[in-house]
Amino acid sequence: MKLFKLVFLLILINSNSLIAQKKEEQIIKQVKFEKDKVFMNDQLAFNYSIDNKNHFILSDINKNEIITGDITSSGDGKWSSVITFVQEKKQFSNSKIIGRNDLLFKFLENNVITNDFKINPEKLNAFFDKYNELK
C-alpha cells in the first residue's frame, strides 16, 4: 500500500510539473529581416534604420518610433546595448540580448508582439521582469 501511495504521489508531482512547464504557443511564427524593414508572418511589421552603426531605430509602419537602441563595444569582441522603449519611457539591457535581431526573436519567444504588430504591455512588463539587467 505504501508503494502504491508513493507511485501515485510521484505521478501527481510529475503531471503538475508538466502543466507548469507548458509554454504558450508562439503568436508570430515567421520573421524576415531586410535592410530597412522587418516582416512577420509575411507582412510588413516594422521599419528599421541604423545611423552611425551604433544607434538603431525600430518604428511602426507609420514611422512612429517604438524602440531605439545604442550598441557599444566592450572590447574582446563583446558588445552591450541600452535599448529604450520610447512610448513606455523604459530602458532595457541584457548581456545576451544586444541588437534588433536578438530583441525581436526574444520578443517572439515571449509573445510580446501581438498579431497586429503592437507591443503587449503586460507581456512587456513580464519580459522586463525576466530579462532586464538594468536596475
- DSSP states along 9-70: HHHHHHHHHHHHHPPPPPS---EEE-SSEEEETTEEEEEEEEETTTEEEEE-TT--EEEEEE
Task: For residue 8, tell me if it sits in a domain.
Answer: no
Domain count across the chain? 1
Domain that holds residue 87: 25-131
Task: For residue 11, tell me if it sits in a domain.
Answer: no
Residue 22, pLDDT score: 58
Residue 134: pLDDT over 60: yes
The model's pLDDT over 71-103, given as tens digits with 9 standing for 90+, comes to 999 888 889 999 999 999 999 999 999 999 999
Residue 17: pLDDT over 90: no
Task: For residue 15, tell me if it sits in a domain.
Answer: no
Task: For residue 103, tell me if it sits in a domain.
Answer: yes
Task: For residue 105, tell me if it sits in a domain.
Answer: yes
Cell of 5: 501511495
pLDDT band with cut points at 50, 70 and 90 for residue 36? very high
Residue 4, pLDDT score: 44
Q: What percent of the chain has pLDDT over 70?
A: 83
pTM over 0.85: no
Question: 44: Cβ–Cβ under 8 A, 6 or more apart, which residues?
Answer: 37, 38, 61
Task: For residue 5, tell me if it sits in a domain.
Answer: no
